[in-house]
Amino acid sequence: MDETPARLAVKPSWLLTQLAVHAHRLSSGGFAEVGARGYHYRILAALAEFGVASQAELGRRCSMDRSDVVAAINELAEQGFLERTPDPDDRRRNMVTLTKAGDRQLRRLDRALDKVQDDLLGPLSAEDRQNLTRLLTRLLTHHQGK
């Protein structure tokens, strides 16, 4: 059995990286169980929260590359989870709208992701989970502001 060197095992950066890999694997598996990917969740969640948006707005809100946004929107549109219509103010731009089927899919994805959170954070109490989320949010906010 491989052991991690002690001086490495106590570094938060190493711990966060290892946990991020595991969290990504769990999330991908959870989404796959309902026929989706993480990009789908990001887009559906943004549309549900902020309403109709252009593809460019979705890319910015979801921290996604333009080509990934287009591919994910194409997949979601084929499944009837969203609709694209030309922007009346700029025909070169598409506006994206969440459908009722997309809202139902988002709720399925929410449930899948909730299960992932429970699996990932299983050893932590509810209070520890809230504290971890608060601390991670503080760190992310700090580093995004640079």
- What digits encode the pLDDT tens for the residues 71-88? 999 999 999 999 999 988
- Closest Cα partner for 85 from 77, 57, 100? 77
65 or 92, greater pLDDT? 65
pLDDT number for residue 14? 95
Task: Please give the full DSSP string across 103-141, using - where no structure is assigned.
Answer: HHHHHHHHHHHHHHHHHHTTTS-HHHHHHHHHHHHHHHH
- Report domain 13-144's class: mainly alpha
Structural domain boundaries of the chain? 13-144
At residue 1 the predicted structure's pLDDT band, cuts being 50, 70 and 90, is: low
Check if the beta carbon of residue 55 is closer than 8 Å to that of residue 73.
yes
Please give the share of the chain, as a percent, with pLDDT higher than 70. 99
pLDDT number for residue 76? 98
Check if the beta carbon of residue 77 is closer than 8 Å to that of residue 97.
no
